[in-house]
Amino acid sequence: MSEAPATLTATALITGGSRGIGKGIALALGQAGLQVYLTYVSKAAEAEAVAAEIRSKGGLASAFGLDVGDSSAVADFFQSEIKDKVLLKALINNAGITKDGLILRMKDEDWDKVLGINLRGPFICLREAAKIMTRQRLGRIVNIVSIAGQMGNPGQANYSAAKSGLIGLTKSAAKELASRNITVNAVAPGFIVTDMTDKLDAATRDLYLTQIPLKRFGTVDDVASAVSFLVSDSAAYITGQVLAVNGGLYC
Ligand code: NAP
């Protein structure tokens, strides 16, 4: 197998980079000097604005519409936009959704939808990225999981199961891909202020706040810093790990 030409531009692909944590990661990796490819599923203008912000600071960035639940679209994207076109330094599996509900009332479609986007989607992206990174003999994969996948959360059986599954995928992929100089790690945010957590009611938010030892909710920059570290040369000997960014809520 041949290695990718050294002239290709080192690139980080971030799924769901249009807002929230993914946007923070995109800006941080752009700042770190990587070309940023960020994806969105519905918010094209927001995604284009993130790419424009990175370019305005002297970086390289492009936004792409890509539903991680559509496996053939994901495979086509890797073939048409990534393979032999860029050096795929990093894949950040960040895109995620919630469809909360108590188990007794949870519909099959809400289970399938969350597992499809939050677990099958990252698997498809990881598999397609691994095909390319294996040839490169180089790559960093970071899966954004959740404290809910570590400690469980009432009303989030589907989401917690998907994120626990993604931790298992992280550890298995780390072992399979290590011989090709590819590291695979997870970052597990606690309560981070984004559109996803804005949906929670005030009582739930207040309850979390009383339980967080550092006495504040996290920011997208708190998570982006952890991801930047795992992508950096400083983390070359770290693989198969789950780095919690949760203010001490679960340790
Ligand atoms: P968010 O603000 O709701 O943003 C979700 C992102 O995912 C958006 O960019 C969205 O794109 C994209 N997305 C959704 N469905 C998609 C699909 N089918 N295909 C491709 N992209 C899709 O979420 P967030 O709070 O930043 O969360 C980001 C990640 O962190 C998720 O994996 C989440 O589970 C995890 N997390 C978050 C928290 C938290 O407290 N916020 C805690 C733990 C873990 P559009 O903008 O185009 O819709």
Tens-place pLDDT, residues 104-144:
999 999 999 999 999 999 999 999 999 999 999 999 999 99
Q: Which atom of ligand 1 is nearest to the CA of 40?
A: 47
DSSP string, the chain: -PPPPTTSPEEEEETT-SSHHHHHHHHHHHHTT-EEEEEESS-HHHHHHHHHHHHHTT--EEEEE--TT-HHHHHHHIIIIITTTSEEEEEEE-------B-GGG--HHHHHHHHIIIIIHHHHHHHHHHHHHHHHT-EEEEEE--HHHHH--TTBHHHHHHHHHHHHHHHHHHHHHGGGTEEEEEEEE-SB-SHHHHTS-HHHHHHHHHH-TT-S-B-HHHHHHHHHHHHSGGGTT--S-EEEESTTS--
**C-alpha distance from residue 80 to each of 64, 128, 182 (Å):** 12, 12, 22
Mean of all residue pLDDT scores within the chain: 96
Q: How far apart are the CA of 165 and the centre of ligand 1, in A?
A: 17
**Residue 198 beta carbon below 6 angstroms from any ligand 1 atom:** no
89 vs 5 pLDDT, higher one: 89
Specify the ligand 1 atom closest to the Cα of 195.
2
219-230: burial string, b at 16+ Cβ within 10 Å, e else: ebebbbebbbbb
Which tokens is 251 given? 């340790």
The answer, yes or no, to whether residue 219 has pLDDT greater than 60, is: yes
> Mean pLDDT across the stretch 8-14?
98
* Amino acid type, 140: R
Q: Which pLDDT does position 6 carry in this prediction?
A: 59
For residue 130 and ligand 1, the question of a CB distance below 6 A is answered with no
Contact 85, 8 (CB under 8 A): yes
Average pLDDT over residues 17-22: 98
Contacts of 212 (CB under 8 A, 6+ apart): 190, 191, 246, 247, 248, 249
Is 208 marked active-site? Answer: no
CA of residue 20 to ligand 1 center, whole Å: 7
Ligand 1 pocket, 189 CB below 6 A?
Answer: yes
Q: Is the CB of 14 under 6 A from ligand 1?
A: no
Q: How far is the CA of 160 from the centre of ligand 1 (A)?
A: 15
Q: Is the CB of 36 under 6 A from ligand 1?
A: no
Would you say the pTM of this structure is higher than 0.95? yes
In this predicted model, what pLDDT tens digit does every residue of 30-67 receive, in sequence order?
A: 999 999 999 999 999 999 999 999 999 999 999 999 99
Options 159, 208, 237, 250, the catalytic residue: 159
| Residue 23 Cβ < 6 Å to ligand 1 | no
The CA 94 to ligand 1 mean position distance, Å, reads: 6
For residue 19, how many C-alpha atoms fall within 13 Å in the half-sphere facing its CB?
Answer: 14
> What's the gap in Å between 97 CA and the centre of ligand 1?
6
CA of 250 to the centre of ligand 1 (A): 21
The answer, yes or no, to whether any atom of ligand 1 lies below 6 A from the CB of 113, is: no
Going from the N-terminus, what domains does the chain have, and what CATH number goes with each?
10-191+220-245 (3.40.50.720)
Indicate which atom in ligand 1 lies nearest the CA of residue 217: 40
Residue 161, ligand 1, Cβ within 6 A = no
What per-residue confidence (pLDDT) applies to 2?
45
Q: State the pLDDT at residue 1.
A: 41
